[in-house]
Structure 1
Amino acid sequence: MQKGLLFIMILLMVSCKSEKKDFKKLQGSAFGTTYSITYHNNINQDFSKQIDSIIYVMNKSLSTYMPNSDISKINDGDESILIDANFNEVFEKSDRIFKQTNGFFDPTVGPLVNAWGFGPEKAINNLSTEQVDSLMQFVGFDKVKTENGAIVKATPEIYFDFNAIAKGFGIDLIGRFLESKGCEHYLIELGGEIRARGSNKDGNYWKVAIEDPNSDGSRSFSKITVLENQSMASSGNYRKFKIDDNGRKFVHTINPTTGYAVESDLLSATVISKLDCADVDAYATAFMAMGLEQSKVFLEKHSELDAHLIYTDASGEIKTFTTKNLRLTLLD
């Protein structure tokens, strides 16, 4: 009886001790921003070098800011490039979401991103209606396809820009790597996009904050939510925009259906789902171009997505819309 009681006590002690997990934290830079990775590994391994390798491979494949990357070579007209598995997966996700959103998510909008001054190529000053119309002939994900491992473009001028999905995809690759190493509990944050699995050191699901749409350069957070094996991505035009000499505001989210860098009524869109982070990254960008009403209609048809949308009404007042299954609480 005493031996049995002692065994139970030891088991309870081990169980209680395992509830408080030892987590490792890594921080660094990637894709033009910073990352923070918190994960639990039974033998406390440091995966810094492996994660650096993942980031390098991603950039080599999909970075428009690297002249020797595959995407840069393809954009320059090199038809001999055979795309790797990463490029192919991002391409296929983009094709699916392009079709789902009726073209509001479109990574071939690159020529206009550059023209409006938000890409790696030279901007066009005082972009005219005629110039926008001319560039629009090179926009449309239905004008590209993969064939025998290579990209086929309807016209050489088509320019890919996967920045609205690549950051989330990079997070997914890191997450998949951690899972392959037995990490069931982790949180990856890269430039505000997040992928969370399992629980934190206290055994609770991960709590994350949603950023307020401050246009003065400051950062604040007033709402938090809980991620239960989910991904979260936010998109907004409150921080990355330009004002021309005439006082007109141009935002970095280009509407692929019109070609213009004019903001919709949405200030920010946060999307949460059990899907990959790449998916929610793309949907958040699409919503910014769609605007409030079309985004609400889309969300009604896609119950796999939850969203928190911050917008301005007709009188200029800031308001919010939150899908019914998304639980938000005010930050203390």
Structure 2
Amino acid sequence: MDQTRRDIFKAFGVTMGVFLLHGCDRKSTTQELFIWEGYALGADSSIQLYGNDKFEFDAVIQDAVELIKRLEKIFSLYDPTSEISRLNEAGKIDHASPEMIDLINASKEMSRITKGAFDITVQPLWNFYDRYFAGDRSSDFDVEVSNILPLIGSDKIHIEGSSVSFERKGMAISSNGIAQGYITDQVLSLLNDRGYNHALVDIGEYGATGAQYDGSPWRIGLLDPFDQISVADVVDFHKGGLATSGGYGTVFEDSGENHHIFNPATGLSTRSYASVTVLADDATTADALSTAFSAMTMDDIKRVSELVHAKVRLTMRDGEVVWI
């Protein structure tokens, strides 16, 4: 998520009249809103929570940041020493972390319920699109996409104990459609364990342990996919996960028609919706489904959203908004 989008969202993260405390007493008899703003997962991030002890807030934030960094070390595609990078390079990894196994299993489950519309094995498509639209036209586009399609499929990822392997040479996975949601849920779990039942986390996707202390919802601004500057809508958010996906996030060429959200069945960039927002019981589900729904018909979106009790906001390419 780019910085402009983060800044817009953050502006709607709290209701009017709530403020950041500076230099407050160690412990208060009333619940106050504490805010941490920093850098995580490659972008500006924030954690807002209600508590009455500034020292305890500082301690839990330190633990949350350390947790994020540890998980990023597992899932980052930009770190050649990360678990996911080593798996993609070798096609197999032994002694994978429990979190790596957990994320892959969650991804396989998301692939199952969406009938393949969500699939983490699309990384070879990203690699090809990046090369092709950067100027390497040494291979025919349609032929290359057809050659990549046999490498796609979560059923081709095999887990035995703590070992993960690919069925075919050339396969690679991307956690970009689910890892931010997964890490958000891990931070929410930490906050819940520490007794913070009124917290909002923004580390690329949104997660909340509960509403604000007075019962009012968090207010989340949704980016307008057509200008990527203004706010198209404001959503009341109480608990669970909220994620938005749109092809505008990463484009490979100026028209924006070729972007990072792929239909795993065709190998082509999705073009049905301008953006998809999902509110679900957890951020992992919201993150994965906002990606999957980009490649699904409205009937199929309705089927899956009813299955997982999610709410979906679709922005059509003509600007019409549909709630499911």
Q: Given the two structures, how large is their TM-score scaled by the length of structure 1?
A: 0.81
Contact 1:265/1:292, CA 8 A, preserved across alignment: no
Structure 1 position 129, deviation (Å): 1.2
What corresponds to 1:272 in structure 2? 279
Report the AA paired with residue 279 of structure 1.
T
What corresponds to 2:10 in structure 1? none
Alignment CA distance shift 1:248-1:69 (3 Å): closer
Q: Is 1:257 equivalent to 2:265 in the alignment?
A: yes
SS state of the match for residue 76, structure 1?
helix
Report the AA paired with residue 204 of structure 1.
S
What corresponds to 1:196 in structure 2? 208
Report the AA paired with residue 322 of structure 1.
W
Q: Is 1:135 equivalent to 2:145 in the alignment?
A: no
1:163-199: CA deviations, max 9, x gaps?
10001111111111111111111000122x2111223
Report the AA paired with residue 273 of structure 2.
L
Q: Structure 2: which 5+ runs fail to align?
A: 1-27
1:138-159: CA deviations, max 9, x gaps?
1110111210211021113210
Structure 1 position 52, deviation (Å): 2.2
> Which one has the largest radius of gyration?
1
Alignment CA distance shift 1:202-1:249 (3 Å): same
Contact 1:115/1:127, CA 8 A, preserved across alignment: no
What corresponds to 1:154 in structure 2? 167
Q: Given the two structures, how large is their TM-score scaled by the length of structure 2?
A: 0.83
Q: Structure 1: which 5+ runs fail to align?
A: 1-16, 324-332
Greater mean deviation of Cα atoms: 287-296 or 130-139? 287-296
SS state of the match for residue 236, structure 2?
strand
Q: Is 1:318 equivalent to 2:323 in the alignment?
A: no
Aligned length: 292
SS state of the match for residue 72, structure 1?
helix
Paired with 1:150 and 1:37, the residues of 2 have a C-alpha distance of 34
Structure 1 position 200, deviation (Å): 1.9
What corresponds to 1:23 in structure 2? 33
Task: Note the aligned Cα RMSD (angstroms).
Answer: 2.4
Report the AA paired with residue 252 of structure 1.
H
Contact 1:35/1:189, CA 8 A, preserved across alignment: yes
Report the AA paired with residue 110 of structure 1.
Q
Paired with 2:239 and 2:156, the residues of 1 have a C-alpha distance of 35
Report the AA paired with residue 159 of structure 2.
T
Structure 1 position 203, deviation (Å): 3.8
Paired with 2:299 and 2:140, the residues of 1 have a C-alpha distance of 29
What corresponds to 1:329 in structure 2? none
Structure 1 position 123, deviation (Å): 8.3
What corresponds to 1:168 in structure 2? 181
SS state of the match for residue 204, structure 1?
coil
Report the AA paired with residue 284 of structure 2.
A
Q: What pairs with 1:2-41 in structure 2 (closer than 5 Å)?
A: 21-41=31-51
SS state of the match for residue 127, structure 2?
helix
Report the AA paired with residue 42 of structure 2.
G
1:50-70: CA deviations, max 9, x gaps?
122112211221111110011
% identical aligned pairs: 25
SS state of the match for residue 187, structure 1?
strand
Q: Is 1:304 equivalent to 2:316 in the alignment?
A: no
SS state of the match for residue 308, structure 1?
strand
Structure 1 position 124, deviation (Å): 5.0
Contact 1:77/1:156, CA 8 A, preserved across alignment: no
Contact 1:264/1:291, CA 8 A, preserved across alignment: no
Q: Is 1:207 equivalent to 2:207 in the alignment?
A: no
Q: What pairs with 1:102-113 in structure 2 (closer than 5 Å)?
A: 102-113=115-126
Contact 2:91/2:171, CA 8 A, preserved across alignment: no
Structure 1: 4+ residue segments shifted above 4 A: none
